[in-house]
């Protein structure tokens, strides 16, 4: 039997965001800039970040009472998609996600103290992954135990993006047997607690965070009766934005390869004339268009029937990006094998994205349970 799956649509704000982000990212993140930042310690440009803030992009999904524009992740998706296209890296997605969960679980006081700061450009890194490597956000071993002045933490977080330069770091903990969040001020974390990780995507700065012995005040702890649901929602939101990055990347790497196929001459003809090259490129493009359809369906329905739509988008975005970037290397020949070829930047990005928040196989397992139960 046919089953009703999520619909697709686009609102005017999404169009506006897409136009704005497309212009902004193309201008601010040309490939030379991406390459220049590969060796930069911070990994993103402070001045570009200020412009992102000035454009109001950090507050898109924050309600107006805290200084945001009161839209949602549906409007963030096109922004992140265009960042993905241009390989623009930085704390944007994680900061958006942090605001998202703070808004759903924090106390009124906590919201008042953090959300306006985030809208105003303070960045927040996310410490969700742990050494066990389980993608489910509910599996937390980091502990927050009562101490004299508040709590003392124990445990380790991994793959904390742009943590060193962040203003805040939001980490998941278990407190009194239930999941909770702790928001850390970067200034309170000793330098030795952060170790830069060597990761496959050289555009991203990633850190392990040793939390053992760190003490926090009570007001840094966020507890909520619906924390498990909020963590699930965060997981979906992270997957939505990750899918958007990947959809953007797919388009860019495809364009790169089509360009090369039209200009590289072998046997007297552009290599794109050969079916062994042109047919896989068509397949890569079809994959991209399908992934994009699923992404905008997920964004469109995010506030209502998100889970199936988001997971589907995540699956297709990963497989489409992987295929397009993999073929990009092959169709550049030995040039594709070099560190100087941009195909490698995309393939590494694709692998990194695939590693985050549950890969395609993991998502499909969840989807099977949702669809066949």
Of 200, 331, 312, whose CA–CA distance to 253 is shortest? 331
Give the binding site for other proteins (CB under 8 A).
1-3, 5, 7-10, 14-15, 18, 251, 258, 261-262, 269-270, 272-273, 275, 278-279, 281-283, 285-286, 289-294, 296-297, 312, 315-316, 361, 364-365, 367-368, 371-372
Least distance to other proteins, CB of residue 371, Å: 6
Least distance to other proteins, CB of residue 84, Å: 15
Residue 149, SS3 per DSSP: coil
- When the beta carbons of 165 and 367 are compared against other proteins, the nearer one is 367
For residue 180, give Cα distances in angstroms to 116, 124, 221.
22, 17, 7
Of 185, 191, 178, 188, whose CA–CA distance to 144 is shortest? 178
Residue 212, SS3 per DSSP: coil
Least distance to other proteins, CB of residue 15, Å: 4
- When the beta carbons of 218 and 373 are compared against other proteins, the nearer one is 373
Least distance to other proteins, CB of residue 313, Å: 9
| Angle at alpha carbon of residue 102, lines to 97 and 107, rounded to 5° | 175
Beta-strand ranges (E) seen in the chain are: 124-127, 143-146, 150-154, 156-161, 168-175, 178-185, 194-197, 206-210, 215-217, 221-222, 265-266, 269-270
Residue 311, SS3 per DSSP: helix
- When the beta carbons of 251 and 348 are compared against other proteins, the nearer one is 251
- When the beta carbons of 89 and 317 are compared against other proteins, the nearer one is 317
Tokens of 351: 């692998």
Tokens of 217: 């005040």
- When the beta carbons of 151 and 285 are compared against other proteins, the nearer one is 285
User: Using CB atoms within 10 A of its CB, is residue 256 exposed (0-12), middle (13-18) or buried (19+)?
Assistant: buried
Least distance to other proteins, CB of residue 131, Å: 26
- When the beta carbons of 38 and 286 are compared against other proteins, the nearer one is 286
- When the beta carbons of 18 and 165 are compared against other proteins, the nearer one is 18
For residue 113, give Cα distances in angstroms to 53, 63, 244.
18, 14, 29
- When the beta carbons of 7 and 176 are compared against other proteins, the nearer one is 7
Least distance to other proteins, CB of residue 18, Å: 7
- Give the DSSP per-residue string, 325-364: HHHHHHHTHHHHTSTTSHHHHHHHHHHHHHHSS--HHHHH
Least distance to other proteins, CB of residue 349, Å: 20
- When the beta carbons of 123 and 297 are compared against other proteins, the nearer one is 297
- When the beta carbons of 111 and 251 are compared against other proteins, the nearer one is 251
Least distance to other proteins, CB of residue 45, Å: 28
Alpha-carbon span 53 to 39, nearest angstrom: 24
Residue 33, SS3 per DSSP: helix
Least distance to other proteins, CB of residue 2, Å: 6
Least distance to other proteins, CB of residue 257, Å: 10
Burial letters for 108-143: b for 16+ Cβ neighbours within 10 Å, e otherwise? eebbeebbbbbbeebbbbbbbbbeeeebebeebebb
Residue written as tokens 């965060």?
234
């Amino acid at each position: 039997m046919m089953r009703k799956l999520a619909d697709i649509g686009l609102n005017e704000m999404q169009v506006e965001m897409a136009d704005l982000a497309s212009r902004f990212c193309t201008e601010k993140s040309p490939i030379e800039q991406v390459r220049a930042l590969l060796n930069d310690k911070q990994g993103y440009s402070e001045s570009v970040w200020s412009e992102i803030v000035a454009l109001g992009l950090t507050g898109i999904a924050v309600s107006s009472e805290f200084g945001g524009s009161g839209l949602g992740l549906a409007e963030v998706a096109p922004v992140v998609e265009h960042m993905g296209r241009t390989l623009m890296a930085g704390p944007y997605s994680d900061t958006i996600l942090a605001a998202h969960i703070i808004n759903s679980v924090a106390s009124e006081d906590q919201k008042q103290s953090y959300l306006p700061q985030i809208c105003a450009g303070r960045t927040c890194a996310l410490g969700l992954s742990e050494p066990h490597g389980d993608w489910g956000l509910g599996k937390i071993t980091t502990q927050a135990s009562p101490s004299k002045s508040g709590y003392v933490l124990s445990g380790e977080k991994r793959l904390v993006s742009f943590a060193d330069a962040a203003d805040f770091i939001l980490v998941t903990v278990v407190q009194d047997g239930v999941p909770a969040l702790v928001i850390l001020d970067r200034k309170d974390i000793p330098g030795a607690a952060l170790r830069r990780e060597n990761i496959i995507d050289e555009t991203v700065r990633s850190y392990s965070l040793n939390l053992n012995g760190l003490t926090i005040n009570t007001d840094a702890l966020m507890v909520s009766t619906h924390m498990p649901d909020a963590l699930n929602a965060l997981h979906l939101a992270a997957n939505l934005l990750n899918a958007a990055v990947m959809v953007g990347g797919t388009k860019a790497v495809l364009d790169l390869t089509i360009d090369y196929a039209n200009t590289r001459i072998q046997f007297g003809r552009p290599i794109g004339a050969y079916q062994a090259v042109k047919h896989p490129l068509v397949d890569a493009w079809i994959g991209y268009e399908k992934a994009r359809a699923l992404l905008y369906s997920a964004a469109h329905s995010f506030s209502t029937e998100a889970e199936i739509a988001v997971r589907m988008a995540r699956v297709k975005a990963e497989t489409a990006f992987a295929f397009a970037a993999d073929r990009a290397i092959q169709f550049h020949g030995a040039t594709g094998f070099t560190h100087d070829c941009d195909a490698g930047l995309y393939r590494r990005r694709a692998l990194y994205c695939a590693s985050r928040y549950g890969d395609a196989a993991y998502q499909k397992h969840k989807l099977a349970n949702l669809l066949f139960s």
